[in-house]
Amino acid sequence: MEKTTVVVIGGGSTGVGILRDLAMRGVDVLLLEKRDMVNGTSSRYHGLLHSGARYVVKDQEAARECIEENIILRKIGKSCVEATEGLFIRLPEDDEAFEEKWVAGCKNSGISAIPITPQEAWQLEPNLSSRLVAAYRVPDAAIDGFRMAWQNIDSAKRYGGRVKTYTEVIRVVSENGKVTGVEVRKFFTNETYFIACDFVINAAGPWSGQIAALAGLEVHVQPDKGTLIAFNQRMTSRIVNRLHVPSDGDIFVPHGSITILGTTSMSVKDPEDTSSSFLEIESLLKIGEKTFENLRKYRILRAFAGSRPLYSSSGGIGRGASRGFVILNHAAEGLYGFITITGGKFTTYRLMAEKLTDMVCQELHITAPCRTAEEPLIQDVPENVKQQARKYFPAYGTVLAANRLGGERFERVVKRLENSPQERQLVCECENVTVAEIKEVISEGTSHTVNDIRRKTRMGMGTCQGIFCSLRSVGILSQYEMAAEKQGSIEQLQNFLQSRFKGIRPVLWGNALREIEIARGIYGVGLNVNGGKPKC
Amino acid sequence: MLKSDVIVIGGGFAGLMAAAVSAKRGKKVTLLTYGSGSFPLNSGLIDIMAKPVSGAIAATPLQGISELTEKHPYQVIGADVLKEAVAFFMGLCEEENYPYQGSLDKHQWVVTALGTMKPSCLVPKTMIGNYCFKQQDIVLVGFNGLKDHYSNVMEENLKNVLENGKNYEQVIIYPDIEEGRDLTALDIARWVSTTEGYAACLQQLRTVVKPGSVVILPQVLGVKPDYAVWEQLRKDLQCDVMESTGLPPSANGLRLRSLLLHYLKKHNVTIIENCQVIGSHIQDKVCISVKAKAVARERIYQAEQFILATGGFYGGGLRMDHFPEIKEPIFNIPVHFAGDPEDWANEELFSQQKQPFALVGINTDAQMHPLDGQGNCFLTNVHVVGRNLSGYDFCFEQSGNGVALVSAYQAAMSV
Ligand SMILES: Cc1cc2nc3c(=O)[nH]c(=O)nc-3n(C[C@H](O)[C@H](O)[C@H](O)COP(=O)(O)OP(=O)(O)OC[C@H]3O[C@@H](n4cnc5c(N)ncnc54)[C@H](O)[C@@H]3O)c2cc1C
Ligand SMILES: Cc1cc2nc3c(=O)[nH]c(=O)nc-3n(C[C@H](O)[C@H](O)[C@H](O)COP(=O)(O)OP(=O)(O)OC[C@H]3O[C@@H](n4cnc5c(N)ncnc54)[C@H](O)[C@@H]3O)c2cc1C
């Protein structure tokens, strides 16, 4: 029988943070994720490493947590953070009294907010609204959620932490008021089995209410869906926030060559609901074009949505409910060994993990201190490896690839490129992803679908949204027995194309419409992906 | 200024066919176009109708057409014209020594790069896949360095499509082309067209391929519209040889394009390339002239009749910069989507329903004159063809080049 001391449920930022912290303190820990890592909110989010400035008026404590963690994550996760800085801008229609409270709040929370003139703001960001009346610089940054989670796992693995993906917890098992393990189901085979453990950590984000229910407990977590729009340009090199009471559609975050606008806020029944509608997009554009007047001229790549895990002990909903996090030790309710951690933000994931791990370690009588704030997630890529890599990557591609792969994996990829010229071919031309990188990721054994590969390599995330690289990646993935056993190539291709279409459907005009015509032509007509037996 | 009888705008399949039929009827034709349309994407297969209404494949292409609603271009134009158009196209290819195979009475099956079989109607001989049903030994040929061709995927899926018990073999040919470079099927087709390339290819195939097999390759059997390489390889290997569909660029799409351009030149069509039409001069529902931009200068072109073959949302004939405003940029022909925004697209990319956005386009009468919102003729000497038309979903139905062919024929017969 499989055994571990602690089972962590959920492969989002909260879960991986806990996995790393427990492993670093020497605890035997296994993380279970029902799909691929970062399947939930931690990739369906805005990617803003908050300075805390957004919260200073309403919640000073949250603001302070943000700025502290902001500084820590820049240090331990260098290659995940793009230190863009942020602007808060006030438009004539935004309440002037709020600005005063906000300035005072920043001061109280220790967040630097440097006032600049509108002229200076336009100089920094020429596309900003010509109507802005006040502007401040704050230490916001952009953070890559996929990468951050990956690096946490890589780090945890070095300390013996383990991960099982495509493994869904379907039952929490207890005896005499004490957790004894979990029953899980494997996604591709539906096989179920039991894993024994002493502690179960419910870190399932917006699903954490559902997980608590598996243990017969009630935790009020209201999934609150937010839709975001990704534009294919960097219309701003800084994060831009509206200086008013936090509201829908008022933040722009640049990431690499794209910009993300968000978000809406809407209570949903089920966190699996990640659909976005035309209406939501239209309302975001309407608000967004106040900040960037020429917003509609920019090309939209896709829309996506995720659910915030909003915790309420009293049942408040929407943006008003608390964004601070809670840790609920259910021993108090008669189930020893079951702990829920929910709410919070991506920005504070490490702090959340630290507090939770402190609690578990206390139960286990472990005194090792938390070191997650000091030790970098991954080693830097050595200069000589980068030098070697320059032979195979286009100039700008070397740094990008080194950042996304991290030291060890990058070295292995470079070795592949060196040894086999065939693997130098680009699979994804938009994001410069080579055969070598894809093969390396597949060979790690945790990628079973094209979407899994996409998340790890960025393949299919660029301008063409997978239209030209889908067949290639399915072709390569199918060469591996392990993957081919799980899903046929047609199913892989259909699922991948559908997942890309889902994000394009609510923004289906302009270039997107033209590209969907091509995608339907290539895969629907030319490749007859719907298949079927010929009648003759 | 010289005035043409007919100006055709757009050089995709619909535009070239419209020019061909008009010229054959003795008209003085000018073709204004830029780019090569969807030829490099579409394998040069003339699909006519596989799935008229539901996901089920019709008994024959002709049978499928009879099941369509009256708004569909085939119904607007009529089955008799369809038969004439097919006959015209088959005759043209015959005349150009690249005869196509197929008829309205039977689907032709083509092997795809995914290893599925795709129903089509008029098919170049190199792509007829029906032999797969008969023969026992199937050889899948790939080329070292060729992206976008995965014999392993083809084998996996062909096994599900074809009868059990066939033997499959995958062969990789090493083309003598610079190492490490990304190759397309077109690069390899050029290599196979050379004497040395062909010899090297044949030699490598001979060591593995048994006579009597079916040999499936990507579209690499030459770049020109002739069957020389294909015939030679069939003879040399004593096998049935066929090309599969693939990702762009498609050699056979480009073969069909060269064939048609050759035919147009033979019939004295004036072809102006790199020429973007940007506006028109209209008086009382009659188009007097169009304005076009070539490199730096603008020019006015006059004609009695105009055929608009600008290729819908892909070709640039229709544009939607913002939902739901659709624009036809040359003549300002009205196009509308009347539904709710949430009904613009089905939730699934591929499903058992036609895509609403794909059905949107220009409505016409039986002579392909564009209609306004009230159903009245909008311009009396303009005809609309191909992907610009409303009422059909080329992907769901598998009818793209078929609608292009028939509408082009009908427009050219009406000018
Ligand atoms: C639109 C939007 C924008 C946001 N923007 C920001 C931002 O800019 N900055 C910021 O700091 N925060 C932001 N947030 C908040 C932040 O994204 C979340 O608070 C955080 O990602 C939550 O992480 P998590 O690990 O708790 O949950 P998740 O990432 O959702 O992880 C939970 C995981 O549990 C798994 N799971 C569920 N059920 C089971 C089961 N039965 N068995 C096994 N696994 C299971 C799920 O598959 C999922 O992967 C945003 C949130 C939203 C919705
Ligand atoms: C990827 C793909 C695969 C396909 N596969 C098949 C298949 O296997 N079988 C099949 O039957 N059908 C297939 N189709 C559908 C088929 O290709 C099209 O429906 C059909 O060829 C449309 O022809 P068209 O001439 O109307 O448009 P297009 O081929 O798009 O040609 C339009 C031309 O007009 C030009 N143009 C546009 N605006 C102007 C202007 N203002 N001035 C001058 N020129 C202009 C464009 O540049 C272009 O060259 C496929 C389509 C795609 C996209």
Which ligand 2 atom sits closest to the C-alpha of B330?
Answer: 41
pLDDT for the residue B198: 97
Total structural domains within chain B: 2
- Mutate one of B48, B132, B147 to test the A interface: name it (highest A CB count within 10 A): B147
Q: Ligand 1 test: best mutation among A8, A9, A19, A42, most atoms within 8 Å of CB?
A: A42
pLDDT for the residue A393: 77
**DSSP symbol at A277:** -
pLDDT for the residue A323: 56
pLDDT tens-digit profile of A256-297?
889 999 999 999 999 999 999 999 999 999 999 999 999 999
Question: What residue type is assigned to position A387 of the chain?
Answer: Q
From residue A401, alpha-carbon distances to A389, A478, B290, B297, B412 in Å are 9, 24, 50, 45, 55
Pairs from B318-321 (Cβ < 8 Å, separation ≥ 24): B318/B360, B318/B361, B318/B362, B318/B388, B320/A509, B320/A510, B320/A513, B321/A509, B321/A510
Task: Among the bound ligands, name the one nearest to the CA of residue B404.
Answer: 2
Between A228 and A319, the higher pLDDT residue? A228
Q: Do residue B157 and residue A536 have CB atoms under 8 angstroms apart? A: no
B316 lines ligand 2 (CB under 6 A): yes
Domain boundaries, chain A: 2-41+146-220+323-364, 81-142+224-308, 425-532
The pLDDT of A98-126, averaged and rounded, is 98
Between A180 and B1, the higher pLDDT residue? A180
Residue B187 sits in a domain whose CATH number is 3.40.50
Q: Do residue B156 and residue A488 have CB atoms under 8 angstroms apart? A: yes
Q: Is the dihedral of CA A98, A99, A104, A105 positive or negative?
A: positive
Residues of chain B in contact with residue A521, where contact means CB-CB under 8 angstroms, are 38, 41-42, 314, 394-395, 400
Does residue B250 lie within any of the structural domains? no
The model carries a pTM of 0.94
Q: How far is A427 from chain B (nearest CA, A)?
A: 8
Q: Do residue B118 and residue A498 have CB atoms under 8 angstroms apart? A: no
Name the CATH topology of A2-41+146-220+323-364: FAD/NAD(P)-binding domain (3.50.50)
Backbone φ and ψ of A498, nearest 5°: -65, -40
pLDDT for the residue A490: 94
Cα of B13 vs centre of ligand 2, distance in Å, is: 6
Which ligand 1 atom sits closest to the C-alpha of A214?
Answer: 41
Asked whether residue B121 falls in the same domain as residue B214, the answer is yes
Which ligand 1 atom sits closest to the C-alpha of A264?
Answer: 1
B350-382 burial, b at 16+ Cβ within 10 Å, e below that, comes to beeebbebbbbbbbbeeebbbbeeeeeebbebb
- Residue of chain B whose Cα is closest to the Cα of A503: B347
* Contact yes or no for B315/B330 (Cβ under 8 A): no
The pLDDT of A6-27, averaged and rounded, is 98
Cα of A203 vs centre of ligand 1, distance in Å, is: 9
pLDDT bucket at A316, cuts 50 / 70 / 90 = very low
Q: What is the CA radius of gyration of chain A?
A: 23
pLDDT for the residue A407: 80
Query: What residues of chain B score a pLDDT lower than 70?
Result: 1, 179-181
Provide the phi-psi class of A10: left if phi over 0, else alpha when psi is between -120 and 50, else beta. Answer: left
pLDDT bucket at A483, cuts 50 / 70 / 90 = low
pLDDT for the residue A484: 52
pLDDT for the residue A317: 46
B119 lines ligand 2 (CB under 6 A): no
Give the separation between CA A147 and CA B289, rounded to whole angstroms: 58
Asked if residue A318 has pLDDT above 60, the reply is: no
- pLDDT above 90 covers a percentage of chain A that reads 78
Give the separation between CA B137 and CA A513, rounded to whole angstroms: 42
Least confident range from A374-383, A502-511, B230-239: namely: A374-383
Cα of B154 vs centre of ligand 1, distance in Å, is: 38
For ligand 2, atom 5, the nearest C-alpha belongs to B42
**DSSP symbol at A465:** T
Backbone φ and ψ of A309, nearest 5°: -90, 90
Asked whether residue B21 falls in the same domain as residue B168, the answer is no
pLDDT tens-digit profile of A392-448?
877 677 888 888 888 888 999 999 999 988 888 889 888 888 999 999 999 888 888
CA neighbor of B88 nearest in space, from B405, B344, B411, B308: B405
Alpha carbon distance, N-terminus to C-terminus of chain B: 21
Q: Do residue B114 and residue A479 have CB atoms under 8 angstroms apart? A: no
pLDDT bucket at A485, cuts 50 / 70 / 90 = low
pLDDT for the residue A319: 45
Cα A265 off chain centre by: 18
Asked whether residue B69 falls in the same domain as residue B136, the answer is no
Q: Do residue B113 and residue A279 have CB atoms under 8 angstroms apart? A: no
Range of the domain at B352: 2-100+255-414
Asked if residue A320 has pLDDT above 50, the reply is: no
pLDDT for the residue B283: 97
Cα A15 off chain centre by: 12
User: Which of A426, A478, A510 faces B321 most closely, judged by CB atoms?
Assistant: A510
Q: Which residue is listed with tokens 């919260």?
A: A55
Q: Do residue B342 and residue A520 have CB atoms under 8 angstroms apart? A: no
What are the structure tokens assigned to A390, written together? 């320059």
Residues of chain A in contact with residue B119, where contact means CB-CB under 8 angstroms, are 528, 534
Residue B12 sits in a domain whose CATH number is 3.50.50.60
Give the separation between CA A489 and CA B134, rounded to whole angstroms: 25
Residue where a domain stops, chosen among B245, B268, B302 = B245
* Contact yes or no for A261/A233 (Cβ under 8 A): no
pLDDT for the residue A481: 67
User: Which of 2.40.110.10, 3.40.50.720, 3.20.190.10, 3.30.9.10 would CATH assign to domain A81-142+224-308?
Assistant: 3.30.9.10
The pLDDT of A333-361, averaged and rounded, is 96
Residues present in chain B in total = 415
Question: Is the reported ipTM for this assembly greater than 0.85?
Answer: yes
Asked whether residue B380 falls in the same domain as residue B330, the answer is yes
pLDDT for the residue B1: 61
* Contact yes or no for B52/B67 (Cβ under 8 A): yes
Asked if residue A517 has pLDDT above 70, the reply is: yes
CA neighbor of A516 nearest in space, from B350, B116, B39: B350
pLDDT for the residue B179: 63
Asked if residue A486 has pLDDT above 80, the reply is: no
Task: Among the bound ligands, name the one nearest to the CA of residue B272.
Answer: 2
Pairing of strands A258-262, A251-255: antiparallel
